[in-house]
Amino acid sequence: MTRTFAIANQKGGVGKTTTCVNLAASLAATRKKVLLVDLDPQGNATMGSGIDKNSLDLSIYEVLVGSCTAEQALVYSETGDFSVLPANGDLTAAEVEMLELSAKERRLREALGSLDGRFDYIIVDCPPSLNMLTVNALVACDGVIIPMQCEYYALEGLSALVNTINQIQAVLNPGLRIEGILRTMYDPRNSLTNDVSAQLTSYFDDRLYRTCVPRNVRLAEAPSFGQPALVYDRQSKGAIAYLALAGEILRRHEAAQVNETVQA
């Protein structure tokens, strides 16, 4: 059964794309079949996966407007060992065009449905705003992974995102849930970091991942080489953190499957 996650946060600069690329690579390293969907017109997840966004024949744009199938637009990331539905600046036009299409909120869900069973995990990189692309991601996914920094303004943004998720759940995707909260750019020496982290623990409890992604130079350098940190520097703290996150996600799902089997 394919599990589909949106990596979302309406606040920019919190590590969404870094999380997408490195989580995809880490899950692939555990021999899972992974698809990364780049739903951000900046195409950073595409470039970070070693794929030139400027030389694409087909992209997620064509998929969303119905010019091609998801299968036709797939590109393989040699550096990450996962598949990619890539994006570039063309995606900006998709929002306008989708407004005139039927079931505009479900375009991505329908496109990914054609790939059902081919992948173990689908990771969707969302743009840093609540627009039709983000709505498509939330409608298409089982859960949302929210990367965030432990700072005051991040808590305000998190509250707005949770409200958005609840609205999508009520109207368009009843099965949508918050899969987990991931603390990024984490510095335990900072008192504010610890205060915010404590608030997250009390509010989200077991939905807060134990794994924290530290500030890490190698993690920041890797995208410029078109590589996940796992390939760029496997021993870096950033690479190790995302491997730990992948392990935590896999253990959660194994436990959930066991519970479902027992209840059945």
- Mean of per-residue pLDDT scores for the chain: 92
Q: Which one, of 66, 88, 85, lies nearest residue 77 by Cα?
A: 85
pLDDT band at 264; cut points 50, 70, 90: low
Statement: residue 67 has pLDDT above 70: yes
In this structure, what token pair is assigned to residue 255? 């436990």
Q: Is 151 exposed, middle or buried (0-12, 13-18, 19+ CB in 10 A)?
A: middle
Distance between CA atoms of residues 248 and 255, nearest Å: 11
Longest dimension (CA), the chain: 51
Task: Please tell me the predicted confidence (pLDDT) of residue 99.
Answer: 82
Task: Please tell me the predicted confidence (pLDDT) of residue 249.
Answer: 96
Torsion of CA 21, 17, 4, 153, to 10 degrees: 140
Distance between CA atoms of residues 75 and 47, nearest Å: 12
Strand ranges in the chain using DSSP code E only, listed in sequence order: 3-7, 34-38, 75-77, 82-85, 121-125, 143-148, 177-186, 208-214
Distance between CA atoms of residues 53 and 80, nearest Å: 16
Task: Please tell me the predicted confidence (pLDDT) of residue 75.
Answer: 97
pLDDT band at 94; cut points 50, 70, 90: confident
For residue range 178-213, what is the model confidence (pLDDT) as tens digits?
A: 999 999 998 888 888 888 888 888 888 889 999 999
Q: In the chain, what are the domains?
A: 3-263 (3.40.50.300)
Statement: residue 260 has pLDDT above 80: no
Most confident region among 75-84, 101-110, 191-200 by mean pLDDT: 75-84
Q: Which one, of 161, 146, 144, 121, lies nearest residue 15 by Cα?
A: 146
